[in-house]
A and B are shown apart, each in its own frame.
Chain A
Amino acid sequence: MIPELGHFALIVALLVAIIQSVLPMIGAARRDRALMGVAVTAARAQFGLVALAFGCLAWSFATSDFSVANVAANSNTHLPLHFRLAATWGSHEGSLLLWSTMLAGWGFAVTVFSRNLPQVLRARVLAVLGMIAIGFLLFLLTTSDPFTRLFPAPPEGRDLNSLLQDPGMVAHPPMLYMGYVGFSVAFAFAIAALIGGRLDAAWARWSRPWTTVAWSFLTVGIALGSVWAYYTLGWGGWWFWDPVENASFMPWLAGTALIHSLAVTEKRGAFRSWTVLLAIVAFSLSLIGTFLVRSGVLTSVHAFAIDPARGLYILAFLAIVIGGSLALYAVRAGAVGAGGDFAPVSRESLLLGNNVLLVVALVSVLLGTLYPLFVDALAAGKISVGPPYFNTVFYPLMAPLLFLVGVGPVAAWRRAPIPELWTRLRWAAGIAVVTAALVPVAMGRWKPLVALGMLLSAWIAAATLSSLVHRLRHAPQRGLTAKLRANAPAWYGMLLAHLGVAVFVAGVTLVKGYEVERDVRLDVGQSVVVAGDTYTFRGVAAVPGPNYDAIVATIDMTRADRHVTTLHPQKRTFRSSGQVITEASIERGIGGDHYVSLGEPITGSGASGAWAVRIYVKPFVDWIWGGCLLMALGGFAAVADRRYRLARARHSEPAAALVAPT
């Protein structure tokens, strides 16, 4: 009964989505208040219905109702409850339902937080969200119904892929999808602006918080995925340039460019049509990312051939959304206008540089990700594009971008004379040079790339902090609290996010420069010295887990004859599938991780045999994710800004009048 209720709710949600996308659009064209008012009611009803459907599926998973095919294929009574719930989005169907639920949730949020929006704009934004919802609900109902029944119901389900039975599965996909789907709001604002032909500073101020929140969620989602990949699989890498990772990274790059371009559009009224284009691109890449990962096309382009209905639907949907919005852009971008003028060195031009670099980086990732698929689809052979390509392209693109992160926030709008910039930034430059010279020496080995990385990291950190000091010094208020309060949360958010970039760069630089990776063969009682620490293998023991049997090794880590810690890397064999998963054991620290994972038994399999063991030392690796977290926190902090809530009173002012000192 519950699954049918969910299915029924989805059908009604589709009907509501049709109403949501048609009536308000007509209302907006005719300035009919009653018709436009339908948008809010419909968006809220849609959220209720889709959330109900999602709840029904989650319920079926929680209660292990194996008469539902999706549950039978992806869950098992031996799974702990949190993994049964996470299994709701473990399959193609379930993850699309999660996508739709979040889409409806974002639509609901628009109805709640955008009371100040002009009614015409809000009606159009919600109508566009409704159109996207139609696409997804129709896809769910026609090709990917998560509620299909199975008769007779099997007594036990297959299992959730053992690799997905991890806390990462609980948090990573929802966060990632919050980001992907969040860009739909920025997209809807862009389309609404194109239809209305009106795009001013007020429009940018309304879209900014939505974009920033979505971007922050996406940042957290990507970072969680990276942490997850780091500690499972026993590879110890934090980024592999895998197509699945690239699929989430491309919208992030576009979103980062969009955030910065929106800043220019809000403050200076410039880059208008470019901002709209970026909003379209960011959401299109989110869609492509979702479908690349979910359609199975990355595993094999022939996945489309196995299930042509899904493949065709996806291609048609992408063509309509991306082609349609780009066509609308081509026709209407002229009406939106280009915006104000600026000098070759100004905050605008620096942000333009930021956008150009980000977009070039985006294109390079897109090429490296899609080209092998095209070659394969054309049956012209199989190729792969590995990390060396991405690294070769990324370092030269990111170095100037990171340099700009230091300069941009200090530069004035319109015109920023270089001598003035130098006066403001000379301290930061000095600190950066000294750090670049000292850190490699302190780490024990001079490496030019490490020096460059630390130069850029320290440059960003010092420039960011110096602009904080500058602001506080020159604030007219008395007392530190009053001075601190004189600045907007959005500005602090920006500082925090940029500091996050500095922390991230430091982490990447030091891991890349000084990580030690050793694969060794260890007999029981044998020791090995890696990077000054001694690791002694004490043997393995069999330990049963809830739904797996683990072989747990004991490895003592000592430094200068003092016991530091005991590590317990595991090999888990899942009972239902027989699949083996490596769980690394990590001694974490702010200065770096000591990472031990178990390979395979080399001689015999009893407690006395030798094992292959992988020992990694990863200096400052946690700074990578710490930096991402700071970036996301910066984004969330920026949204707390009051000016995003005072939008209505000032929305009719021209852009030029809105040059705030921020």
Chain B
Amino acid sequence: MKPRTRRFVWIGAGLVAVAAAATLILSAFRSNLVFFFTPSQVYAHEAPQSRPFRIGGLVLGGSLERVPGTLTVRFKVTDTAATVPVTYTGLLPDLFKEGKGVVAQGAMGADGTFHATQVLAKHDENYMPPEAKAAIDAAHAHSGAMSMPSLHEARAQ
């Protein structure tokens, strides 16, 4: 092969490799993106029915209950405007508490309950998961009337 031809072969092979890699990455990316929805959006049926997604907000005070004899828990997630019932089977993270922020990943069941496969509440206790905070802020912006004292009441219930 002449050096010129060889260079073209190299460049061609490189382009094919890059195209293959891009296809792989982008298809994996598209099928594994997890979108986030607030309880208000779930309430308004904006969340997908078939695909997993994330939901975030505060764990409603007094809503945590255990199914006797199992590791299944039920609780409600609220953004102070709407609440969504959630079930989860397994160990809850250390920072999971009523009235604190939480993010759960899972899918909506036919019963209108969010079936969580993963419950995230991480790092320090002052830290609010960004999604949970965004959900509450969005709800506030919508109603415009929700003041901090009423948020405290929502926590204390």
Contact = CB atoms under 8 A, between A and B. Distances in A.
A360 B34 contact: no
Interface string A312-342: 0000000000000000000000000000010
A635 to B, nearest CB: 27
A427 interface: no
A602 B66 contact: yes
Given A385-B34, A521-B69, A300 B91 contact: no
Interface stretch (B74-82, B107-115, B121-129, B142-150): B121-129
Interface string B17-51: 11001001100110111111000000000000000
A520 B89 CA distance: 10
Given A582-B94, A600-B91, A612-B71, A367 B29 contact: yes
A368 to B, nearest CB: 7
A581 B134 contact: no
A397 B25 CA distance: 10
Interface string A125-163: 000000000000000000000000000000000000111
B29 A161 contact: no
A384 B91 CA distance: 22
A363 B22 CA distance: 10
Contact of A386 (B32, B93, B133): B32
B34 A519 contact: no
B130 interface: yes
B17 A356 contact: yes
A389 B125 CA distance: 29
B125 A383 contact: no
Contacts of B29: 367-368, 371, 385, 389
Contacts of A597: 91
A63 interface: no
A233 B94 CA distance: 8
A15 interface: no
Interface stretch (A45-53, A441-449, A572-580, A620-628): A572-580
Nearest to B93: A233
Q: Is the interface of B mostly helix, strand, loop or mixed?
A: mixed
Contacts of B91: 234, 519, 597, 599-600, 612, 614
Contacts of B94: 233-234, 571, 579-582
A367 B36 contact: no
Contacts of B127: 299
A389 B124 contact: no
A599 B33 CA distance: 30
A385 B21 contact: no
Interface residues of B, number: 36
Prevailing SS type, chain A contact patch: mixed
Nearest to A610: B69
Interface string A587-627: 00000000001011010000000001010000000000000
A396 B20 CA distance: 11
B71 A521 contact: yes
A612 B73 CA distance: 12
A383 B35 contact: yes
Interface residues of A, number: 44
B21 A360 contact: yes
B70 interface: yes
A381 interface: yes
Contacts of A162: 124
A388 interface: yes
B93 to A, nearest CB: 8
A392 interface: yes
Contacts of B70: 521
A162 B133 CA distance: 23
A389 B35 contact: no
A578 B124 CA distance: 10
B90 A519 contact: yes
A612 B130 CA distance: 28
Nearest to A162: B124
A213 B28 CA distance: 35
A577 B125 contact: yes
Contacts of A360: 18, 21, 25
A101 to B, nearest CB: 26
B24 A396 contact: yes
A392 B28 contact: yes
B1 to A, nearest CB: 10
A163 B124 contact: yes
10 interchain residue pairs of minimum CB distance: A389-B32, A382-B36, A599-B91, A392-B28, A300-B130, A360-B21, A580-B94, A388-B32, A519-B90, A364-B25
12 contacts: A161-B124, A163-B123, A234-B91, A360-B18, A371-B29, A382-B35, A385-B33, A392-B31, A577-B124, A599-B92, A602-B66, A612-B91
Given A376-B130, A581-B94, 20 more contacts: A163-B123, A233-B93, A234-B91, A234-B94, A299-B130, A364-B25, A367-B29, A382-B54, A382-B131, A382-B134, A384-B34, A385-B33, A385-B34, A389-B33, A397-B21, A397-B24, A577-B125, A579-B95, A582-B94, A612-B91
